[in-house]
Amino acid sequence: MAKARAIIKRLKAVRNVRKITRTMELVATARFKKAMDRAVEAAAYTRKISEIVSDLSDVISGESESFSHPLLQKREKEKKSILLVVTSNRGLCGGYNGGVLRLAQQRIRQAAADKIGLDVEVSGKRGIGFFKFQKLRTTATYTHFEDKPTYEQVNELASRFVASFVSGEIDRLDVAYTKFESMARQKATIETLLPIGKLEGPAAKKTGPKVEYEFLPSPKEILEEIVPASFKARLFKCLLDAAVSEQIARMVAMKSATENADDMIRSIRAQYNRARQSQITSELSEIIGGAAALE
C-alpha cells in the first residue's frame, strides 16, 4: 500500500506542475497577441519613415544638393562602440536568452581581438545575471522594458546614444536581440544601428508610381529631423521584436512542458494501476492461503 500511496503523491505533484505550465502558456499567449499588435504597428511606422527618407534623398540628389548628417557618417577608425544586449526579465522561455548571449560573447571577443573599446549595456535580469556570473563588466543595466516597452522609455535611451555618437564619444552602436520574422521563425541577431549608413529604405525598391511631395521647410531641414527619428524608430522596433519573440518562446516552452506533464501523468497512472493490481493479487493470495491453512 505504501508504494501505491507514493505513486499517488507523485501523480498529484505532476498534475499541479501541469496546471502551472498550462496557465503560463495561456498568459504568454495573451501577452503575445498584445505585443504582436504593437510590433506590427511599429513595423509599419518604421517602414513609412524609411520610405519618406528615401524619397527625400532622391529629391536632394535630383537637385544636385549634398546632404550630410552626423548619424549617417561612418568613422574612418572605430575606437569605441556600445553593445546593447536585450534579454528577458523572467525565465521559462526555452533558449530565447541563450542565442542572444552567445552572439554577445562573440562580439565582445571580436572587439577585444580588434582592440576596440566596447561598453556593454544589458536589458533584462537574465542577461544581467549571466554577465555577473561570467564576471564580464557592464556599463549600464535596465530592467524596466518588460514585454511592453514604451516609446518614451526608448526615446530617453536613444537620445543618449545619439548624443554620444554625435559628440564622438562612440563610433558605433550594435543591438543584440531576437528578431521577429514570423510565428515560426525568430532569429537571434546583432544589428548595427549607428551609423545609419545610406539614405535608403524600402521605398528605393518600389516599382509603383513615384510619390510627389511639397516640402515646407526644405527637404534638407526635414531630413535633419527625420534621420534621428528613423534611428529611434529602429531601436524601438528592436525592443518590440524582442518582446514578441520572448512571448513566443515562452508559449512554446510551456506548451512543451504541459505535453511532457501529460505524458508523465499517463505513465504514472499505468504504474499506479500495476502497483494496485499487484497489491490486490498479493492480498487475495494471503486470503486464499489463510483459508487453506484453516481446513
Q: How does residue 201 score in pLDDT terms, banded at 50, 70 and 90?
A: very low
- pLDDT reported for residue 278: 79
Q: pLDDT digits over 67-116, tens only?
A: 677 887 888 888 999 999 999 999 889 889 999 999 999 999 999 999 99
Task: Report residue 201: phi and psi, to 5°.
Answer: -150, -165
- In the predicted model, what is the mean pLDDT of residues 154-162? 93
Q: Any idea of the CA torsion for 189, 185, 157, 50, to the nearest 10 degrees?
A: 90
- pLDDT reported for residue 204: 44
- pLDDT reported for residue 71: 84
Q: Identify residue 162 by its one-letter amino acid code.
A: V
- pLDDT reported for residue 284: 77
Q: pLDDT digits over 250-282, tens only?
A: 999 999 999 999 999 999 999 888 888 877 787
Smallest CA-to-CA distance from 178 within 91, 85, 81 is with: 85
- pLDDT reported for residue 4: 79
Q: Any idea of the CA torsion for 37, 39, 43, 45, to the nearest 10 degrees?
A: 70
Q: Identify residue 241 by its one-letter amino acid code.
A: D
The runs of H, that is alpha helices, within the chain are 2-62, 96-113, 125-133, 151-167, 219-294
Smallest CA-to-CA distance from 222 within 45, 42, 59, 41 is with: 59
Q: What single DSSP character describes residue 87?
A: -
Strand pairing category for 117-123 and 140-142: parallel
pTM: 0.82
- pLDDT reported for residue 140: 95
Q: How does residue 192 score in pLDDT terms, banded at 50, 70 and 90?
A: very high
203 pLDDT more than 50: no
Describe the crossing of helices 96-113 and 125-133 by its angle, rounded to 10 degrees: 50
- pLDDT reported for residue 209: 53
Farthest-apart Cα atoms in the chain, separation: 118
- pLDDT reported for residue 202: 44
158 pLDDT more than 90: yes
